[in-house]
């Protein structure tokens, strides 16, 4: 054990992180000496979740032997070693570990069912089948077709293909079945029939005029096997256009950087959105359907497009299906490695001039069945409705009942959409500060460069345990910055950046150094964002010694910061903060959230409140108020949020980990029924907004604009006194039906006022004014 402790002490670990090859070599040598190497190799081979199907006992034995073999070594170091070994022995490509496994065996890999309905696809079906035949997945595949009374030779082509693959030894497509409808039933009913017959643990639903890349199924399986998702989706609506199907596949295999650029997904801001669950690239765990649907049909037959039914609508069946997945809390994962290419061809179903009218019909049905969908997807809804109308106008649109219904439903928000895309991609110079806030801000269609330096402080490290780092944002060393190449700058600060001495020795002189550098050195137009309220004495009383301390604002500190910023535009989070600061030039932008990221609450647990952060800044975050409200835990108690960690094989400094952790965070919130917000000085706390987005009934201390959006007893509660707050919480706990009603009303309020479309539009307007 002496060698282990000295070889992997903290300084050495830090050094070896910069020398990956050296660490890998030492780890292999060490494990080999201890007889552990074969078990680590098994973990590599079966990682990315394959242990859920195969070798589960072997992995458990490895973990037990590895962790108990070195009792003197901290557990966190052991986990780090295993993760590093796996990371250094595999490429960044998420399917690489699958490939290692694939070379040795196909035992234990899940059966994958491919479900596809067709009508007049004789020109495309051969390409569809050939692409599936070329898959590198070595597990078993079954294909279930539904012939929706197709009058052409598609059926014969499939039969001939089946004879061919059965004669081949290497192919794993051994089962192709065809369900033949006696009459044209439409896509929804046809897919439901195939899903019912599917035997696979993973069901892939895909149109039969699509091509799949070689790694398509293996990438989907690898993603599912992390066990942190129920649905896997990827890039779609890439058209073959002037290329042949084979040329298209070859082109994107060679030019993978073009995949996301050429793909057309419905929600480009949130790729994991249910809006991107389209049946040109969609897979789901069969167990999720079995658990959540019962006798309910997966696709709603009312949305079927049938040639034999003139009253049938066209389209939006995917969105309807996916919205019900969202309401059930399905965990959706978008991966870029599994993409499909649509074979461009003239429509084989119906007259083109009828389709916009049928599309309007199904769009109306969508909002009749799910009226709240307008708020969940308001940005997409209004944009899509405009496109449908333009499509219909190309065929000389006539007024009809469907258009009148939708105009009336959307009237409050027509004609101007909230989110207006800029004519060009602006470049913004900024720095890291509040990851949760910046995650929403970076949904603007701009490029964000976050300045870093050599100092060890929080502005140099993105906190992936809080939020993913958006694709349009990256960290850039300060020496690489050319100010002239940026359109403007955004800097972040709080109340302590000039007066860290008032923080009870919690913060040092480095706090706010990056902000001060921006103010002093950056000479392009600037906007600054304030993340706090004016300082007061004792705000960092983390030892909880001064409950009755005077919390009066330190006026000299407030004035110093106001004078320091002069006439720079300051964005603040609440009107109360704006009044307290009295900046020379300020604007309020309330927080923004994307409703598609917040499925409705399950109401399975009781009261949720802040965690350790409340104790760290007791006066700021209302720790003493909380203790007064919950002075008798026998009658009333609250829980603190417990967020499960994602798979240990994820790189903790990467977005795969971040998306999984963020999804776990939201799912943990929605288990609860009630949220208590005791904060006193925090301007518009995000945790309360997130709880409202999920539909938890909120009870808040009266501060920072709460009275502007909460009506007591209707969509939440607020009060000043602990006794009144306690009464509200007890009432909600004892009346679960009222809790749901008030929680859902609060959710509707949040999806309207805190919807990120309003937030992004407010920023668009601010930036436009700044640059004009």
pLDDT in tens, 594-625: 999 999 999 999 999 987 778 878 888 888 89
Span 237-256, mean pLDDT?
94
Q: Is the pLDDT of residue 41 over 60?
A: no
What is each CA distance from 464 to 86, 612, 654, in whole angstroms?
20, 19, 7
Torsion (CA) 148, 153, 158, 159 in degrees, nearest 10:
110
Mean pLDDT of the chain: 85
Output the pLDDT for position 504. 78
Q: Is the pLDDT of residue 575 over 50?
A: yes
% of the chain with per-residue pLDDT over 90: 67
pLDDT digits over 451-500, tens only? 999 777 789 999 999 999 999 999 999 999 999 999 999 999 999 999 98
Q: What is the pLDDT of residue 34?
A: 44
Tell me what pLDDT residue 85 has.
45
pLDDT at 553 over 90: no
CB 659 within 8 A of CB 666: no
Tracing tokens 């007061």 back to the chain, one arrives at 536
Which of the four pLDDT bands, split at 50, 70 and 90, describes residue 628? Answer: very high
Question: Which residues, at least 6 apart from 484, have a Cβ–Cβ distance to it below 8 Å?
Answer: none
Percent of the chain with pLDDT over 70: 83
Residue 30 pLDDT > 90 = no
What's the pLDDT score for residue 546?
59
CB 449, CB 389: distance < 8 Å: no
Domains of the chain: 2-89 (no CATH), 112-346 (3.90.550.10), 355-361+369-417 (no CATH), 427-588 (3.40.50), 595-754 (3.40.50.2000)
pLDDT of residue 501: 85
Residue 87 — pLDDT band, cuts 50, 70, 90? Answer: very low
Q: Which of 129, 328, 145, 286 is nearest to 210 (CA)?
A: 129
pLDDT band at 54 (very low <50, low <70, confident <90, very high): very low
* Cα(701)–Cα(748) distance, integer angstroms: 21
- C-alpha–C-alpha distance, residues 345 and 208, integer Å: 12
Residue 588 has pLDDT above 70, yes or no: yes
- The token pair that represents 228 in the structure block: 């942190």
Condensed to tens digits (0 to 9), the pLDDT of residues 311-341 reads 889 999 999 999 999 999 999 999 999 999 9
Q: What would the mean pLDDT of 265-271 be, rounded to a whole number?
A: 95
Cα angle 442, 448, 452; round to 5: 120
Please give the sequence-ordered ranges of beta strands (E in DSSP) within 629-688, or none if there are none.
639-640, 674-677
Residue 394 burial (CB < 10 Å; 0-12/13-18/19+)?
Answer: exposed
Give the whole-angstrom CA distance, residue 757 versus residue 752. Answer: 9
Half-sphere exposure of 7 (CA within 13 A, CB side): 18
Give 106's pLDDT tier (boundaries 50, 70, 90).
low
Q: Give tens-digit pLDDT for 632-685.
A: 777 789 999 999 998 877 888 899 999 999 999 999 999 999 999 999 888 999
Quote the pLDDT of residue 107.
55
- Specify the pTM: 0.86
Tokens of 523: 């000479």
- Integer Cα distance of 261 and 274 in angstroms: 20
Average of per-residue pLDDT across 202-225: 94
User: For 159-204, how does the pLDDT look when each residue is reduced to its tens digit (9 = 90+)?
Assistant: 999 888 888 776 778 789 999 999 999 999 999 999 999 999 999 9
pLDDT of residue 550: 60
Three-state secondary-structure class, residue 275: helix
Q: Which residues contact 151 (CB under 8 A, 6 or more apart)?
A: 120
Each residue's pLDDT tens digit, 507-533:
888 899 999 999 999 999 999 999 999
**Predicted pLDDT of residue 353:** 82
Q: Which residues pair with 143 in a beta bridge?
A: 114, 176
Is there a contact between 727 and 711 (Cβ–Cβ < 8 Å)? no
pLDDT value at residue 543 = 61
Which of 348, 443, 361 is CA-nearest to residue 400? Answer: 361
Say yes or no to pLDDT of 537 above 70: yes
Look at residue 415 in the predicted model and tell me its pLDDT: 58
Say how far apart CA 304 and CA 158 lie, in whole Å. Answer: 24
Residue 549 — pLDDT band, cuts 50, 70, 90?
low
For residue 571, what pLDDT is reported? 98
Laid out side by side, the sheet with 473-477 consists of: 473-477, 447-452, 427-430, 488-493, 526-530, 569-572, 586-588
pLDDT tens column, 131-164: 999 999 988 999 999 999 999 999 999 999 988 8
Quote the pLDDT of residue 399: 84
Q: What is the pLDDT of residues 360-369, one digit of tens each?
A: 999 999 999 9
Tokens describing residue 461: 């490290």
Report which of residues 553 and 594 the model is more confident about: 594
């Amino acid at each position: 054990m002496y060698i282990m402790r000295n070889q992997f002490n903290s300084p050495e670990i830090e050094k070896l992180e910069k020398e990956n090859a050296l660490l890998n070599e030492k780890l292999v040598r060490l494990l080999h000496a201890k007889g552990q190497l074969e078990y680590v190799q098994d973990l590599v081979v079966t990682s990315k979740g394959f242990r859920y199907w195969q070798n589960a006992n072997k992995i458990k034995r490895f973990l037990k032997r590895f962790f108990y073999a070195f009792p003197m070594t901290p557990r966190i170091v052991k986990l780090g070693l295993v993760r590093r070994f796996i990371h250094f022995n595999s490429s960044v490509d998420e399917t690489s570990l699958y490939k290692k496994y694939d070379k040795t065996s196909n035992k234990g890999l899940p059966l994958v069912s491919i479900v596809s309905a067709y009508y007049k696809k004789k020109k495309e079906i051969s390409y569809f089948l050939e692409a599936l035949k070329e898959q590198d997945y070595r597990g078993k595949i079954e294909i279930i077709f539904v012939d929706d009374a197709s009058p052409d030779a598609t059926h014969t082509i499939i039969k001939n293909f089946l004879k061919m693959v059965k004669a081949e030894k290497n192919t794993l497509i051994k089962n192709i079945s065809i369900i033949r409808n006696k009459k044209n039933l439409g896509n929804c009913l046809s897919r439901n029939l195939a899903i019912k017959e599917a035997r696979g643990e993973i069901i892939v639903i895909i149109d039969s005029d699509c091509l799949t890349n070689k790694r398509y199924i293996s990438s989907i399986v690898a993603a599912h096997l992390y066990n942190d998702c129920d649905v896997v989706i990827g890039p779609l609506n890439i058209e073959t256009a002037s290329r042949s199907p084979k040329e298209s596949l070859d082109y994107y295999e060679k030019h993978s950087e073009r995949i996301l650029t050429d793909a057309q997904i419905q929600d480009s801001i949130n790729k994991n959105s249910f809006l991107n669950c389209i049946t040109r690239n969609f897979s789901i765990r069969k167990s999720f359907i079995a658990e959540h649907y019962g006798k309910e049909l997966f696709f709603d037959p009312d949305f079927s497009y049938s040639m034999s039914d003139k009253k049938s609508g066209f389209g939006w069946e995917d969105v309807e299906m996916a919205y019900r997945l969202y309401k059930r809390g399905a965990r959706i994962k978008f991966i870029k490695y599994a993409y499909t290419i649509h074979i461009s061809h003239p429509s084989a179903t119906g007259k083109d001039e009828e389709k916009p009218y049928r599309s309007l019909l199904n769009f109306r049905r969508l909002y009749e069945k799910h009226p709240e969908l307008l708020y969940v997807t308001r940005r997409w809804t209004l944009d899509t409705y405009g496109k449908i109308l333009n499509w219909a106008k190309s065929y000389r649109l006539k007024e009809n009942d469907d258009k009148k219904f939708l105009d009336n439903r959307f009237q409050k928000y027509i004609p101007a959409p909230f989110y207006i895309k800029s004519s060009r991609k602006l470049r913004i110079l900024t720095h890291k500060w509040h990851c949760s806030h910046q995650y929403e801000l970076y949904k603007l269609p701009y490029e964000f460069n976050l300045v870093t330096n050599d100092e060890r402080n929080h502005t140099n490290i993105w906190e992936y345990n809080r939020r993913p780092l958006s694709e349009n944002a990256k960290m850039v060393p300060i020496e690489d910055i050319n100010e002239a190449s940026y359109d403007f700058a955004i800097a972040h600060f709080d109340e302590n950046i000039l007066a860290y001495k008032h923080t009870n020795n919690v913060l040092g002189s480095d706090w706010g150094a990056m902000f001060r550098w921006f103010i002093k050195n950056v000479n392009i137009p600037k906007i600054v964002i304030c993340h706090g309220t004016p300082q007061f004495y004792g705000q960092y009383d983390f030892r909880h010694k001064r409950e009755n301390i005077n919390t009066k604002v330190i006026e000299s500190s407030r004035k110093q910061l106001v004078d320091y910023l002069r006439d720079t535009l300051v964005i603040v989070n609440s009107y109360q903060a704006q009044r307290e600061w009295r900046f020379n030039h300020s604007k309020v932008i309330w927080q923004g959230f994307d409703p598609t990221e917040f499925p409705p609450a399950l109401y399975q647990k009781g009261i949720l409140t802040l965690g350790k952060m409340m104790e760290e800044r007791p006066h700021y975050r209302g720790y003493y108020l909380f203790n007064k409200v919950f002075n008798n835990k026998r009658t009333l108690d609250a829980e603190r949020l417990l967020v499960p960690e994602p798979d240990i094989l994820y790189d903790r400094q990467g977005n795969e980990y971040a998306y999984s952790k963020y999804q776990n965070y939201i799912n943990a919130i929605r288990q609860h029924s009630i949220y208590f917000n005791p904060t006193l000085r925090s301007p518009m706390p995000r945790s309360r907004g997130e709880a409202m987005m999920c539909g938890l009934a909120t009870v808040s201390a009266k501060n920072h604009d709460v009275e502007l959006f909460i009506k007591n007893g209707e969509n939440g509660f607020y009060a000043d006194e602990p006794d009144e707050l306690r009464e509200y919480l007890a009432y909600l706990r004892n009346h679960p039906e009222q809790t749901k009603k008030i929680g859902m009303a609060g959710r509707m309020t949040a999806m309207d006022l805190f919807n990120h479309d309003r937030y992004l539009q407010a920023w668009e307007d601010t930036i436009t004014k700044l640059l004009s």
